[in-house]
Structure 1
Amino acid sequence: MSTRAITIEPVDLDRDLPLLHAWVTHPRSVFWMMQDASLDDVQRAYAAIAADPHHDAFLGRVDGRPTFLLETYDPAHDEQLAELPELAPGDLGMHVLVAPPADEPEPGLTTAVFHAVLDHCFADPSVRRVVVEPDVRNAKIRAKNVAAGFTELREVPLPGKTAMLSVLPREDRVHPDPRPVAVVPDEKHRDAPEGGAFGQGLPSADHLTPELMERAQRHLVAKAIAELSHERLIAPVVEDERTGTWRLDTGGEPGEPGASYVFTARVLPLEHWAIDEASIRRTVAGREVPLDAQELIAELAPVLEVPDALLPVYLEEIAATLAAGAWKLRHRDVPVADLIDADFQEIEAAMTEGHPGFIANNGRIGFSLDDYRAYAPETGATLRLHWVAARRDLTRLSLGEGETEQRLYDAELPPGVRDRFTAQLTGLGLDPADYLFLPVHPWQWQHKLAITFAPDVARRDLVHLGPGLDEHQPQQSIRTFFNRSRPRRHYVKTALAIQNMGFVRGLSPAYMAATPAINDWVAEVVHADPELRDCGFEVLREVAAIGYTGDAFHRLAGTSPYRKMIAALWRESPVPRLAEGEQLTTMAALLHRDAAGDALVTAWIKASPVDAADWVRAWLRCYLRPLVHCLAAYDLAFMPHGENLLLRLRDHVPTGAFMKDIGEEIAVMGDLPLPAEVERVRGDFPDDVKALAVHTDVFDGVLRHVAAILDADGLLPVEEFWAIARETIVAHAADHPELADAVARYDLLRPRFKHSCLNRLQLRNTLQMVDLSDQAESLIFAGTLANPVAVDRAGGSA
Structure 2
Amino acid sequence: MTDTSAAPLPVPAELTAEHWDRACDHLVAKMLAELCFEYALAPVAEGPDRWRADVGGARYRFAGRRTTMDGWRVRPGTAVRTGPDGNDAPASPFALLRDLGEAGIVDPAVEAFTVGELNATLSADARLAVERVGAAELADLPYAALEGHQTGHPWIFANKGRVGFSARDRADFPPEARRPARLPWIAVHTSLAEYHGVSGLEAETLRSRELGAAVTARFTERLTAAGVRPEEYVWLPVHPWQWDEVVVPLFAAELAHRLIVPLGEAEDDYLPQQSIRTFTNLTRPDRFNVKLSLAILNTMVYRGIPTELCRAAPVSTGWVHALHARDAFLAERHRVILPGEVAAVAVRHPVLEDIPDAPYRHRQLLGALWREPVGERLDTGERARTLAALLHVDGEGRAFTAELVKRSGLDAESWTAALFGAVLPPILHLLYRYGVAFNPHGENAIVVYDAHDRPARLAVKDFVDDMKLLDTDLPEYAGLPDEALGVLMRFDARELTSSVVKSLFVGHFRYLAPLMDEHLGLPEERFWALARAEVDRYQAEFPELADRFALFDLLAPEFERVCLNRERLLGGGYHDRAERDAEFHLDAPAIPNPLLTTEETA
Equivalent in the alignment of 2:29: 222
Provide the C-alpha distance between the structure 1 equivalents of 2:103 and 2:593, rounded to a whole number of angstroms.
Answer: 27
Equivalent in the alignment of 2:522: 716
TM-score using structure 2 length: 0.94
Provide the C-alpha distance between the structure 1 equivalents of 2:456 and 2:43, rounded to a whole number of angstroms.
Answer: 41
Aligned residue runs from structure 1 range 493-532, under 5 A? 493-532=291-330
Deviation of residue 394 (structure 1)?
A: 1.6
Quick check: 1:761 aligned with 2:567?
yes
Secondary structure at the counterpart of residue 250 of structure 2: coil
Equivalent in the alignment of 2:152: 354
Higher mean alpha-carbon deviation, 469-478 vs 366-375, is at 366-375
Contact persistence 1:373–1:381 (CA under 8 A)? no
Secondary structure at the counterpart of residue 108 of structure 2: coil
Q: Of the candidates 326, 329, 345, which is equivalent to residue 126 of structure 2?
A: 326
Provide the C-alpha distance between the structure 2 equivalents of 1:694 and 1:373, rounded to a whole number of angstroms.
Answer: 35
Residues 718-768 of structure 1, C-alpha deviation per residue, up to 9 Å, x if partnerless? 010000011010000001111111112222112112112221332244532
Equivalent in the alignment of 1:466: 264
Provide the C-alpha distance between the structure 1 equivalents of 2:330 and 2:297, rounded to a whole number of angstroms.
Answer: 37
Deviation of residue 716 (structure 1)?
A: 0.7
Residues 212-247 of structure 1, C-alpha deviation per residue, up to 9 Å, x if partnerless? 11111110100000011111111111111xx22100
Contact persistence 1:384–1:472 (CA under 8 A)? yes
Deviation of residue 460 (structure 1)?
A: 0.9
Amino acid aligned to 2:368: A
Equivalent in the alignment of 1:556: 355
Q: Which has the larger radius of gyration?
A: 1
Aligned residue runs from structure 1 range 482-501, under 5 A? 482-501=280-299
Quick check: 1:701 aligned with 2:507?
yes
Quick check: 1:600 aligned with 2:400?
yes
Provide the C-alpha distance between the structure 1 equivalents of 2:374 and 2:8, rounded to a whole number of angstroms.
Answer: 40
Provide the C-alpha distance between the structure 1 equivalents of 2:405 and 2:561, rounded to a whole number of angstroms.
Answer: 31
Cα 1:347/1:392, change in 2 over 3 Å? same
Equivalent in the alignment of 2:138: 339
TM-score using structure 1 length: 0.71
Q: Of the candidates 286, 297, 320, which is equivalent to residue 97 of structure 2?
A: 297
Equivalent in the alignment of 1:264: 63
Amino acid aligned to 1:617: A
Residues 36-77 of structure 1, C-alpha deviation per residue, up to 9 Å, x if partnerless? xxxxxxxxxxxxxxxxxxxxxxxxxxxx9xxxxxxxxxxxxx
- Of structures 1 and 2, the one with the larger relative CO (CA 8 A, separation 6+) is 2
Equivalent in the alignment of 1:636: 436
Residues 159-215 of structure 1, C-alpha deviation per residue, up to 9 Å, x if partnerless? xxxxxxxxxxxxxxxxxxxxx985xxxxxxxxxxxxxxxxx3854422222221111
Contact persistence 1:749–1:791 (CA under 8 A)? no
Residues 536-583 of structure 1, C-alpha deviation per residue, up to 9 Å, x if partnerless? 322100001101114321222223312211111100011221101111
Quick check: 1:236 aligned with 2:43?
yes
Secondary structure at the counterpart of residue 356 of structure 1: coil
Amino acid aligned to 1:386: P
Cα 1:277/1:206, change in 2 over 3 Å? same
Amino acid aligned to 1:249: D
Deviation of residue 453 (structure 1)?
A: 1.7
Provide the C-alpha distance between the structure 1 equivalents of 2:13 and 2:579, rounded to a whole number of angstroms.
Answer: 39
Equivalent in the alignment of 1:656: 457
Contact persistence 1:538–1:657 (CA under 8 A)? yes
Secondary structure at the counterpart of residue 64 of structure 2: strand
Contact persistence 2:337–2:374 (CA under 8 A)? no
Secondary structure at the counterpart of residue 770 of structure 1: helix
Cα 1:386/1:780, change in 2 over 3 Å? farther
Quick check: 1:382 aligned with 2:180?
yes
Provide the C-alpha distance between the structure 1 equivalents of 2:498 and 2:578, rounded to a whole number of angstroms.
Answer: 16
Q: Of the candidates 561, 582, 590, which is equivalent to residue 784 of structure 1?
A: 590
Secondary structure at the counterpart of residue 547 of structure 1: strand
Equivalent in the alignment of 2:482: 676
Residues 619-671 of structure 1, C-alpha deviation per residue, up to 9 Å, x if partnerless? 11221221112111111100111111221111111111111012211101142
Amino acid aligned to 1:415: A
Contact persistence 1:602–1:715 (CA under 8 A)? no
Provide the C-alpha distance between the structure 2 equivalents of 1:681 and 1:789, rounded to a whole number of angstroms.
Answer: 34
Secondary structure at the counterpart of residue 493 of structure 1: strand
Equivalent in the alignment of 1:98: none
Cα 1:415/1:780, change in 2 over 3 Å? farther
Deviation of residue 409 (structure 1)?
A: 0.5
Contact persistence 2:79–2:90 (CA under 8 A)? no
Cα 1:682/1:392, change in 2 over 3 Å? closer
Deviation of residue 690 (structure 1)?
A: 3.3
Contact persistence 1:621–1:728 (CA under 8 A)? yes
CA RMSD of aligned residues (A): 2.1
Equivalent in the alignment of 1:37: none
Unaligned runs of 5+ residues in structure 2 are none
Aligned residue runs from structure 1 range 15-54, under 5 A? none
Secondary structure at the counterpart of residue 284 of structure 2: coil
| Number of matched pairs | 591
Secondary structure at the counterpart of residue 560 of structure 2: strand
Unaligned runs of 5+ residues in structure 1 are 8-63, 65-179, 183-199, 252-257
Higher mean alpha-carbon deviation, 685-694 vs 531-540, is at 685-694
Contact persistence 1:249–1:261 (CA under 8 A)? yes
Provide the C-alpha distance between the structure 1 equivalents of 2:587 and 2:596, rounded to a whole number of angstroms.
Answer: 20
Contact persistence 1:377–1:476 (CA under 8 A)? yes
Secondary structure at the counterpart of residue 478 of structure 1: coil
Contact persistence 1:456–1:551 (CA under 8 A)? no
Residues 58-101 of structure 1, C-alpha deviation per residue, up to 9 Å, x if partnerless? xxxxxx9xxxxxxxxxxxxxxxxxxxxxxxxxxxxxxxxxxxxx
Secondary structure at the counterpart of residue 289 of structure 1: strand
Provide the C-alpha distance between the structure 1 equivalents of 2:63 and 2:550, rounded to a whole number of angstroms.
Answer: 40
Quick check: 1:591 aligned with 2:398?
no
Residues 301-334 of structure 1, C-alpha deviation per residue, up to 9 Å, x if partnerless? 255643322321122111111111111112x421
Q: Of the candidates 566, 578, 597, which is equivalent to residue 770 of structure 1?
A: 578
Amino acid aligned to 1:275: V
Secondary structure at the counterpart of residue 499 of structure 2: helix
Secondary structure at the counterpart of residue 77 of structure 2: helix
Aligned residue runs from structure 1 range 448-463, under 5 A? 448-463=246-261
Residues 268-322 of structure 1, C-alpha deviation per residue, up to 9 Å, x if partnerless? 1111101111322222233222332022111112556433223211221111111
Amino acid aligned to 2:132: D
Cα 1:606/1:208, change in 2 over 3 Å? same
Provide the C-alpha distance between the structure 2 equivalents of 1:391 and 1:700, rounded to a whole number of angstroms.
Answer: 45
Secondary structure at the counterpart of residue 584 of structure 1: strand
Aligned residue runs from structure 1 range 22-421, under 5 A? 200=7, 202-240=9-47, 243-251=48-56, 258-284=57-83, 285-303=85-103, 305-330=105-130, 332-351=131-150, 353-421=151-219
Contact persistence 2:20–2:123 (CA under 8 A)? yes
Provide the C-alpha distance between the structure 2 equivalents of 1:758 and 1:473, rounded to a whole number of angstroms.
Answer: 29
Deviation of residue 361 (structure 1)?
A: 0.5
Quick check: 1:432 aligned with 2:251?
no
Provide the C-alpha distance between the structure 1 equivalents of 2:225 and 2:9, rounded to a whole number of angstroms.
Answer: 37
Secondary structure at the counterpart of residue 782 of structure 1: coil
Provide the C-alpha distance between the structure 2 equivalents of 1:418 and 1:580, rounded to a whole number of angstroms.
Answer: 33
Deviation of residue 410 (structure 1)?
A: 0.2
Deviation of residue 522 (structure 1)?
A: 1.8
Q: Percent identity?
A: 36
Contact persistence 1:757–1:779 (CA under 8 A)? yes
Residues 415-463 of structure 1, C-alpha deviation per residue, up to 9 Å, x if partnerless? 3211111111111211111111111001111121112221111111111
Provide the C-alpha distance between the structure 2 equivalents of 1:549 and 1:623, rounded to a whole number of angstroms.
Answer: 38
Provide the C-alpha distance between the structure 2 equivalents of 1:694 and 1:541, rounded to a whole number of angstroms.
Answer: 20
Secondary structure at the counterpart of residue 527 of structure 2: helix
Contact persistence 1:667–1:681 (CA under 8 A)? no
Contact persistence 1:641–1:698 (CA under 8 A)? yes
